[in-house]
Amino acid sequence: MGRVGSRQQPGSACDECRKRKLRCDRQRPQCGTCASVGIQCQVNDRRRPRRPRKGSDVLRKRICALEHLLSNPPATTLPVKAQEIDGMDELPVHRGSTATEDDPQPPLPQLPNDFKQNAQVDRSCQTEVFPAFSSGPFSPSAVTVLTDLMKRDLVQLYFDRVHPVVPILNQAKTCAWSLDPYSLSQYQLCLQHAMWTVSMAQSAQYDHIRDRLYSETRAMLNALDLEDSAMGVCQIEQVQAWLLLTFYEFSRTNYRRGWITAGRAFRLVQLLQLYDLDNPNTAKIGPGEDFVELEERRRTFWVAYCLDRFVSIGNGSPLTLNEEVVSPGIKSSTASKETLPQCRFLTSHGQICTRLPCREVGFQSGTPRPECFLSEAIACNEYLSLSPLAECTILVTIAGRALTHHRVSAVESVYGNMPQDFWARHEWLYSMISRRIKNLAIDYPSIPMIIDPMAMFTCMASQASVIYLCIIMESLAKDEASRARMVPYQERAFHAAQEIARLGREHERLGYFKTHFFMPLAISLGAKWLGLHTDFRIEHPERPLIEPTEVSLQALLGILRRMGEMNNLATYQLSVLKGLGIKI
């Protein structure tokens, strides 16, 4: 126990205690330590004040520069480099050393309250999972610039303009977990940033920070991928974030980057086995999950599935998410039988065991009605009322089979003339497309299509499928008999291209900010057909058309040019058409 009265008194420590690094009790005229050793106790009351740490002047300049950046956002979209802030490279790294008594500097000024509020960074962005954000030399974050009102505006912008064509999130559920930014998981945080990023792609008012936010979002997702080293570690929010970033890259960066990122998202889809969600032998609803979460997973898979086929049709690359997957057979449910009267149900060995997406009303209301499987919908010869996303899924499936049909027929033609089963396969594919076009005409007449961008795109994709199938036929038909057999299909392709032009004009009333990201692909197929087949109209002038070919062609090219202002995929398709010799 210490001596009575040894509590430290106010004042300075004596020189002897400072020298021996002992705790001085500051008793006067002699402290306890000096009294015990019998020496004189001396206190220096004229000690010079400690100067501020080195670099405080440079730090003050940097704070002023950051204040200016936050109050006046730059006109360009490039991130601010460290060298652009005066004196940033002169700031030394503090190692914990004490300050000397030389070159005293004045203390730092007090920051105004409004700057403190604007400069507050989301605490969840500073976790160790995202080292890219904490290691930068004070570069201003795009999230720092976003106020709470701007964040809420971006979420609303997402559900107004992005969700109608990428319908993978339940609005009530998403808004509920995004209310408290400090309770978000790392996966939800990445998804939230991806939602903000892709929303900025559909707006003109965030151009000054769009690219900075995109870079930060991509860095967060990359860091998350590095953190998750186990094969089974993946969350649905991670897949959704990568998908949204893929759509952003196709529309705002370049085709190559979007293609590579799409492949990354497809591998995560396979890792989560989203193609096998409704297999009765493997329960996919875990503890705490509900049917809305299951429907979100279904929609995430089908959006990725459609994206895979958009990319493959655009550049001829092989499919990644094939229809053929190893899964046990499933039995059709009672609900499916009621939905599909007189249908021939297929065994689903080797088929995708995830049901098609349900109607949007049921999904958003929290009461999704399970739909049929893809194999059932394709095999059914009766009328089916499906959601626009489900119809789009069936159409891109037919287009994917047409791509396979092209490759198989190309190999067969090497060994001889056009095989007879080529025409059988071709007619079967065309009959399936015709059936989908009739279904769409019943479900989505002209007036509702104007307010539903997904339905508009699906109708346009159905006409583009007719053209795509005819392009495949032309590439393989070499002899006179085959070319003569193509004429009826070529006439149908002309009408399909002019129907795309009509739908494109109608879509302009909806506005280009509510356009499917891959609509330029469908429009370019129509323009490609009209631009490369002017000779067909000369050889067959008796064939009736909706309007002159040149009028439809210029309408399609004009739509692509206008879309190119906010979708780089349209600009890319224009360059492809120009490379084919079509006058832009």
Position 540 in a domain: yes
Domain annotation covers residue 454: yes
| Residue 34 shares a structural domain with residue 150 | no
Say how many residues make up the chain.
584
Residue 504 lies in a domain: yes
**Structural domain contains residue 330:** no
- 128-170 residue pLDDT tens: 344 444 333 334 577 778 888 999 999 999 999 999 999 999 9
Backbone Cα Rg of the chain: 33
Token look-up 């996919």 returns 284
Q: Is residue 420 part of a domain?
A: yes
Cα separation of 48 and 137, whole Å? 33
**Would residue 567 count as lying in a domain?**
yes
Q: How many domains does the chain have?
A: 3
Residue 34: CATH number of its domain = 4.10.240.10
Distance from C-alpha of 234 to C-alpha of 232, rounded to nearest angstrom: 6
Last residue of a domain, one of 272, 294, 309: 272
Tell whether 147 and 18 lie within a shared domain.
no
Which tens digits make up the pLDDT trace of 423-474?
888 899 999 999 999 999 888 776 666 678 999 999 999 999 999 999 998 8
Is 474 within the bounds of a domain? Answer: yes
Q: What is the pLDDT of residues 393-432, one digit of tens each?
A: 999 999 999 998 888 887 777 766 666 677 888 899 999 9
Whether residue 39 is found in the same domain as residue 149: no
Cβ-contact 7, 1 below 8 angstroms = no
Render pLDDT for 15-74 as a digit per residue (tens, 0 to 9): 888 888 888 888 888 898 898 888 889 888 776 666 666 667 677 777 877 777 777 655
Pair 420, 553 in one domain: yes
Give the model confidence (pLDDT) of 214-252 as tens digits: 999 999 999 988 876 666 568 999 999 999 999 999 999
Asked if residue 581 and residue 452 are part of one domain, the reply reads yes
Residue 119: what pLDDT? 38
| Domain end marker among 250, 272, 294 | 272
Domain hosting residue 430, numbered range: 389-584
Q: Using CB atoms within 10 A of its CB, is residue 163 exposed (0-12), middle (13-18) or buried (19+)?
A: buried
> What is the spatial distance between Cα 531 and Cα 534, in angstroms, rounded to a whole number?
6
- For residue 499, count other CB atoms closer than 10 A to its CB: 20
Residue 343 has pLDDT above 70, yes or no: no
DSSP H or E stretch at residue 115: helix 113-118
Is residue 195 one of the residues assigned to a domain? yes
Cite the DSSP H helix spans in 508-565: 519-532, 534-539, 549-563
Determine how many CB atoms are found less than 10 A away from the CB of residue 434: 13
